[in-house]
Chain A
Amino acid sequence: MPEETIASLAVRRLSILDESGTADAALLPSFSDDEIRRCYELLVLSRAFDTRALALQREGRIGTYPSILGQEAAQVGSALAIAKSDWVFPSFREMGMHITLGYPLDLLFRYWAGDERGMHAPDDLNIFPVCVSVGTHIPHAVGAALAAKLRGDPIAVVTYFGDGATSKGDFHEGFNLAGVYRAPVVFICQNNQWAISVPVARQTAATTLAQKAWAYGFEGVQVDGNDVFAVYRATSESLEKARSGGGPTFIECLTYRLGDHTTADDASRYRPAVELEAWRGRDPILRLRRYMEQKGLWSEAYGKDVQQQAEARIDEAVHMAESAPPPEPGEMVDAACATLSPRLQRQRDELVQTS
């Protein structure tokens, strides 16, 4: 018997909007002019949030914070495709997703200032708390997707994680189970090329991250993560597929972390300046702006107005966050358990009395 090839894989890469702002008309999502403007405004708002968060951290007004600079399109583009009834399991670097889905900005600031109540999502938003443990929320997303399938909910589940998370057992085990049961889940990897100081090449020997999905029996695609249209298109197709029984999809968004890993890091110690410069040129917001300019949707005055409105919203959110009363000692005990044992109740009483 001859030796033969019985399986091979191909990885698609989707990109619609190039760096000069020229779009592939055949692939362009059917956005109205208003929708395009909204997309731009969300990108700007996300960046304004990030800029302010970094400034607040330097002033000691919030704690350690992970910047989303450079990754806005991957977050806004994917979140625009998510329906209110879908569920989202984020990692810790997707504030652009929160903002796009309408998560209250003041709650985000409160969370990063060290107040878990900032993760108490409004009732109409199906967003799980930020997961700082790398990749450990992937099985949660698969579990929620299985639950949706079992209950007959026509929804999909989205989970976000970084390139570094693809090295975790949780990633592989979660993918595998999702494949076996065709769970309605869309896995979105923000491949920002770095996991703290470790580049992707040292995270995996594979050419792409997308191809990892094939080993688990479903499709993995790579998209230009700085191209808001490509990310939107890939996400909405995958979500549609998931909601209609087609099973999971893995989307690798190729992007770049322009900032430090967190405010506790200094990336210039390990990252080549030329690489950073090259990626600065691929700025996702600039790219959309160029496209809008070509379509006559962007002017200096409009750009300025969007920026000012974003900043005004951020000002208001920071003010709201900082005027919220700090958490009281009894609350941490109440939040820990649904029912307090007598001993925990005594501990709570003592705490409230002594502090």
Chain B
Amino acid sequence: MPEMTYRDALNLALKEEMRRDPMVVTWGEDVALYEGSFKVTRGLLAEFGEKRVLDTPISENTIVGVAVGAAMAGLRPVAELMTVNFALLAMDQIINHMSKIRYMFAGQTHLPMVIRAPGGGGSQLGAQHSQSLETFFMHAPGIHVAVPATPADAKGLLKAAIRDENPVMFLEHELLYNSKGEVPEDPEFVIPFGKCDVKREGKDVTIVAYSRMTVLALQAASELEKEGISCEVVDLRTLSPLDADTFVVSAAKTGRAVVVEECWRTCGLGAEIASRIYENCFDKLLAPVERVSGLNVPMPYSRKLEKLCIPQVGTIVAAVKKVMNEKY
């Protein structure tokens, strides 16, 4: 299997799907000529031309709104929001329209569209440009949400997203674009939504994570192994649908769980996951579920403070040790 970056894996997924289906189109701010702020749309304008690869004016609500209209009219748009922070400007289209059109039509229409949005903190971009908003989308019915952690997952999930008849929020992590990994070449390599991936097996503690938090969780697991603590790392891959079966089975097996989320803790996805674990295997738990989360403050601009607000390998290690020492 060839090695490639997360960025190139996404790019390849887009190219393969655009070759496979002429109805797949893409648009967004600076996606055509500039090839995307993070260069995920590299080569698309050259290969597919101006009809299928469009630069839009700076109009986020409309970028999503026209994708909704076009998807209803038979295209399969992949709209890029320059960063997920600008999804907030398109929230009406996303929550009030994209997620509900099928329902409002009593199921008569599909909405096969994808919104790609890079996000996450750690690049010192200040309070309004460093957010992790995954929970906002996960909260609403009618939207699928993908959060890939590796290049292979990025490719397989994006292809699944484009082929999906449901609208998908596809959340890429800005700090993962340069990460490398093996990626299957098979153009039919598609990862179904709603299936966690156990990225590391272990017996003492289950760490549930997603996107960049999975990468950190795996590093934490390696460190903890040296101290004799065996961690199982469950990567969610999609938040909606959420494959609770896999992490519940794992938590029941190990008896301990730590959830790692980059978003704010209050009403974060960690709360949802902890709740599913409690609902389904409370009697198997040896300790309360621990959450490692972003701090409940706007992301500081200062590098030093920003680091304190985002989960780090060290905070995950500490949380695992805490649950190892706790007892019901």
Contact = CB atoms under 8 A, between A and B. Distances in A.
Interface residues of A, number: 36
B33 A197 contact: yes
A116 B300 contact: yes
Contact of A196 (B29, B128, B297): B29
B34 A169 contact: no
A198 B59 contact: no
B59 A333 contact: no
Contacts of B86: 133
B124 A136 contact: no
A64 interface: yes
A195 B301 contact: no
A116 B85 CA distance: 19
B300 A203 contact: no
From A114, A133, A169, A327, name the one whose CB has the most chain B CB atoms within 10 angstroms: A114
Contacts of B128: 132-133
B46 interface: no
Interface in B21-72: 29-30, 33-34, 37, 55, 57-59, 61-62
Given A269-B34, A270-B33, A135 B58 contact: yes
Interface string B284-328: 000000000001111011111100110000000000000000000
Given A115-B301, A116-B301, A197-B34, A347 B57 contact: no
B180 interface: no
B304 A196 contact: no
A347 B298 CA distance: 14
Contacts of A135: 58
B126 A132 contact: yes
Contacts of A270: 33-34
A326 interface: yes
A246 to B, nearest CB: 30
Contacts, number: 89
A336 B298 CA distance: 7
Size bracket of the B interface: 20 to 34
Contacts of A333: 297
A167 interface: yes
Contacts of B224: none
Contacts of B304: 326-327
B124 A336 contact: no
From A64, A326, A329, A332, name the one whose CB has the most chain B CB atoms within 10 angstroms: A332
Nearest to B57: A167
A184 interface: no
Given A136-B89, A196-B34, A329-B305, A204 B57 contact: yes
A336 B57 contact: no
Contacts of A63: 124, 301
B139 interface: no
Contacts of A327: 300, 302, 304-305
B276 interface: no
B91 interface: no
B55 A202 contact: yes
Nearest to A327: B302
B97 interface: no
Given A329-B308, A336-B297, A202 B303 contact: no
Contacts of B296: 336, 343-344, 347
Nearest to B128: A133
Nearest to A136: B89
Given A135-B58, A203-B57, A355-B308, A114 B301 contact: yes
From A269, A327, A329, A351, name the one whose CB has the most chain B CB atoms within 10 angstroms: A329
A156 interface: no
B300 A195 contact: no
Given A114-B303, A136-B89, A169 B33 contact: no
B58 A115 contact: no
B49 to A, nearest CB: 16
B125 A64 contact: yes
Top 6 A-B pairs, shortest CB-CB distance:
A167-B57, A197-B34, A114-B301, A336-B297, A164-B58, A167-B58
10 contacts: A116-B300, A132-B126, A168-B59, A169-B59, A195-B58, A196-B30, A198-B34, A198-B55, A332-B300, A336-B296
Given A63-B301, A198-B30, A332-B305, 12 more contacts: A116-B127, A133-B86, A134-B58, A136-B89, A169-B59, A169-B61, A197-B55, A198-B29, A327-B304, A329-B305, A336-B298, A344-B296
Interface of A: 63-64, 111, 114-116, 132-136, 164-165, 167-169, 195-198, 202-204, 269-270, 326-327, 329, 332-333, 336, 343-344, 347, 351, 355
